[in-house]
Amino acid sequence: MSVREYREFHRRSIEDREGFWAEQARLVDWKRPWESVLDFSRPPFARWFPGGQTNLCHNAVDRHLEERGDQRALIYVSTETGEERTYTYRQLYAEVNAFAAVLRGLGVERGDRVVIYMPMMPEAIFAMLGCVRIGAIHSVVFGGFAADNLARRVDDARPKVLITADAGMRGGNVIRYKPLVDRALDVASRPPERVVICDRGIDREMRPVSGRDLDYADLRSEHEGEEVPVEWVDSTHPSYILYTSGTTGTPKGVQRDTGGHAVALTASMRHIFATNPGETMFTASDIGWVVGHSYIVYGPLMYGLTSIVYEGLPIRPDPGIWWKIVQDYGVSTMFTSPTAIRALRKQDPQYMRRYDTSSLRNLFLAGEPLDEPTSRWASASLGVTVRDNYWQTETGWPILSSMLPGLEDEPVVPGSAGFPCYGYDVCLMHEQTGEEVGPGERGILAIRAPLPPGCMSTVWGDDRRFVETYFSDFPDRNLYSTFDWGVRREDGRYFIMGRSDDVINVAGHRLGTREIEEAMSDHPEVAEAAAVGVADEYKGQVVYAFVVPKDSRRLETEAGREELDRSVREIVAQKVGPIARPAAVYFVEALPKTRSGKLLRRGIQALAESRDPGDLSTLEDPAALEAVRSAAQNPEA
């Protein structure tokens, strides 16, 4: 019965879009009702709730004051600085108004852009909400991008003001933000007029630039207690720009609207994340990424939750810190990445058993394919249901999920991202023929336009690029391409196999990297693994495996290394097939990843083929890439 309920819910969202989304829009406050639910007169561009007026800050803060003004809105925990702060909705209202007053005092108006380049700290969220309160458009740049990448984003967004901090910390190491900002604005062709600095007292050597840099604490004191009226904006007004990670050349700015964004995220808190107003949600991400935008800031606050804002690593000061937060603040819903859980899986399980995590109801994982061993381990260790979901920066909220209306009691299948979410008309397309594939066949995951509310409305300043990038793979089909491989089972569950360019072609056999990596991860002595295709004169490509062992002592003897090498190759052959057996296995201490936790397969592949790995601006740990380089060049080391 449950799956039938889900299918009816999903069917209505596709066949009666206007009726369905009109119902969801009642979850949001509107200053002026919309004239129509959907305007799709210019495909593939969809305009949701045109004619309506609303405001994200009002929905996230103001409307909760009467009912839950004294409820905690934000709980800030920093294991880097040892600081903890709590803000009720009433206190959040005061802080956001102060920041909005500061921005307004600097001449920021409706439609102006503000770049936010900050660590995970409450002031970054105050700045985001302060922007949308006055109708400005924020662009959060991950606080750790190199100066050149910040400069390119500044030039594309053309902000009036940039907001930053003196410094951040990661793993106990100081990251000086101000020098990065100074270098970026030196090379930017369109630098902002003003830079507002939140001085945390970390970088004692920081020096402001005269006539440009302003101290936020000083500005705030000038505007203490001010209340700034909400600027009601059209539903189609841009809410923010978020540049996709790893872009080269001209950045690609995902532009989100206001009304559709508010409706989609608020509805997702009910239908996908199964939360209730007043509960606490802990999303272990960063506001520099879309997960942070959607599920640290806007989604939880618009639905009246308490949101945890965490600055730090999952293993510092010890691997029990996340579970201590769950215990101390009664977290009911948690959202993080498979990479983070895999990092914890390598630690002593006593850290998990030390804390009472009984308040935790669901653990959601997204950002990369979830391998079956990690899913099983997390579920068994925490005693909760692990809910996979799949989406993109461009969509802003999940495309696939294993938690949807009607699926609450449906068994979760490890490794499956679940079923299509309401509003998404999903299909799998053959890469070469452009025809739809059937159950069990691999295809490119695509979405029939119109995209549902909350998805990107265009590429900032470049409608043509929006069409050419996302709607040109299947001409005349009006299909948005996710560029990801997927497989659908007979029961309707989807499995994401990785990017369409993450395919290894061995003697005409196309192998997904995820299939191989999942097989290696099932090895009892393997903590993490990456598979890449390397050019081969005879087979086109062969598989190279890079493996992080759970216990490096196994590699200290030649016999131990050879046995682990052999068994890794064998488990791939057993689980995927002999054609997938790695031609080489390299053991490394860590795998190179972006700061958002995604594996840098292209960089690994380039090094394995003795090529330049290209743009590494999103690299989390340069030493990991050097370890791969060393292993590939000195296989016996």
Around 55, how many Cα atoms within 13 Å sit in the side-chain half-sphere? 21
Q: What is the pLDDT of residue 249?
A: 45
Q: Between helices 601-608 and 622-633, what is the axis angle to 10°?
A: 30
Q: What is the pLDDT of residue 251?
A: 76
The backbone torsions φ and ψ at residue 257, rounded to the nearest 5 degrees and listed phi first, read -85, -170
Averaged pLDDT of the chain? 91
User: 501-633: which CATH topology?
Assistant: GMP Synthetase; Chain A, domain 3 (3.30.300)
Q: What is the pLDDT of residue 579?
A: 81
Q: What is the pLDDT of residue 248?
A: 36
2-485 CATH: 3.40.50.12780
Burial of 412 (0-12, 13-18, 19+ CB in 10 A): middle
pTM beyond 0.85: no
- Kindly give the parts of the chain with pLDDT less than 70: 1, 144, 245-250, 369, 498-503, 507-510, 537-538, 596, 614-619, 634-637
Between CA 551 and CA 347 the distance in angstroms is 11
- Amino acid 9 reads F
Q: Between helices 17-24 and 259-271, what is the axis angle to 10°?
A: 80
Q: What is the pLDDT of residue 88?
A: 98
Structure tokens at 414: 């490890």
Q: What is the pLDDT of residue 536?
A: 79
Contact 482, 502 (CB under 8 A): no
Pseudo-torsion of CA 456, 459, 465, 470, nearest 10°? Answer: -20
Q: Is the peptide bond prior to 452 cis by the omega test (within 30 degrees of 0)?
A: no
Between CA 160 and CA 165 the distance in angstroms is 17
User: What residue spans define the domains of the chain?
Assistant: 2-485, 501-633
The SS3 assignment for 317 reads coil
Q: What is the pLDDT of residue 539?
A: 74
Number of neighbours of residue 578 by Cβ within 10 angstroms: 9
**Which of 451, 447, 427, 446 has its CA nearest to residue 437?**
427
Contact 628, 546 (CB under 8 A): yes
Between CA 277 and CA 488 the distance in angstroms is 34
Q: Which helix (H) or strand (E) holds 307?
A: strand 306-311
Contact 583, 544 (CB under 8 A): yes
Q: What is the pLDDT of residue 634?
A: 67
Structure tokens at 418: 């679940």
Q: What is the pLDDT of residue 247?
A: 34
Between CA 394 and CA 391 the distance in angstroms is 8
Between CA 208 and CA 201 the distance in angstroms is 13
Q: What is the pLDDT of residue 636?
A: 54
What residues contact residue 124 under an 8 Å CB cut-off, 6+ apart? 116, 118, 140, 163, 287
| DSSP structure string for 147-204 | HHHHHHHHHHH--SEEEEESEEEETTEEEEHHHHHHHHHHH-SS--SEEEEE--S--T
End-to-end Cα, the chain, rounded Å = 58
Between CA 292 and CA 119 the distance in angstroms is 12
Between CA 344 and CA 421 the distance in angstroms is 29
Contacts 24+ apart (CB under 8 A), 199-204: 199/165, 199/166, 200/81, 200/121, 200/165, 200/166, 200/167, 201/166, 202/81, 202/166, 202/167, 202/168, 202/169, 202/174, 203/166, 203/167, 203/174, 203/176, 203/177, 203/178
Structure tokens at 13: 């969202």
Between CA 355 and CA 351 the distance in angstroms is 8
What residues contact residue 393 under an 8 Å CB cut-off, 6+ apart? 242, 244, 245, 254, 289, 290
Between CA 8 and CA 123 the distance in angstroms is 43
Q: What is the pLDDT of residue 37?
A: 98
pLDDT tens-digit map of 534-592: 887 657 788 999 999 998 888 888 898 999 999 999 999 887 777 889 999 999 988 98
The backbone torsions φ and ψ at residue 233, rounded to the nearest 5 degrees and listed phi first, read -120, 160
Q: What is the DSSP letter of 347?
A: S
Between CA 91 and CA 95 the distance in angstroms is 6
Alpha helices for 223-298 (secondary structure H): 259-271, 290-292
